[in-house]
Every structure is written in structure tokens, then in C-alpha cells.
Structure 1
Amino acid sequence: MKDKNGKEISTKSIGCALIMLGGFFLFIALVLGVFLGGC
């Protein structure tokens, strides 16, 4: 997978995206995001 800049998406960026998206699943997304590498 690649992000909008064409760079490979790592688990760290996925974790960061989960933290930023949050929303209804805020707590779950935060825990998963931190687990996957945070920001």
C-alpha cells in the first residue's frame, strides 16, 4: 500500500491514521493505533 505521497505505508502510519480517525471507535482506535506504532 502507498500513501498520498507515494511512500510505502508502514504500521506506524497506519497506527497514526487510526489515532487521528478515532470517531465512534475512539478508544479502540487509540489502543490499536498505539499498538501499531503511534504517531
Structure 2
Amino acid sequence: MRAFPEETEMHIILHQPEIPANTGNIGRTCVATGTALHLIEP
């Protein structure tokens, strides 16, 4: 059972991320959950 219905589309937006390790962890979490990740001015 999924926490969200199939039609729900989530997006994570990081604006000028400063800590590469945190950005990587967020990226891996997005891959695992099927969430879109947008990096603005990395």
C-alpha cells in the first residue's frame, strides 16, 4: 500500500543548495519515492 495515490505527483525544489551531502541524500530519497527533484542555481 502506498502512502499517496498513484495520481499524486510530488516535487522537491532546492534553491541554491549549499551542502552537497544533503543534496545527495535528498536526491536518493527522491529516486526511492518517485518524487521529482528540481535544483535551482546549484
Same fold (TM over 0.5): no
As a proportion of its length, which structure holds more strand?
2
What range is the shorter-chain TM-score in? Answer: 0.3 to 0.5
Q: Which has the larger radius of gyration?
A: 2
TM-score, normalised via structure 1 length: 0.42
Q: Which protein has greater RCO, CA pairs closer than 8 Å, 6+ apart?
A: 2
- Identify, as 1 or 2, the structure richer in helix: 1
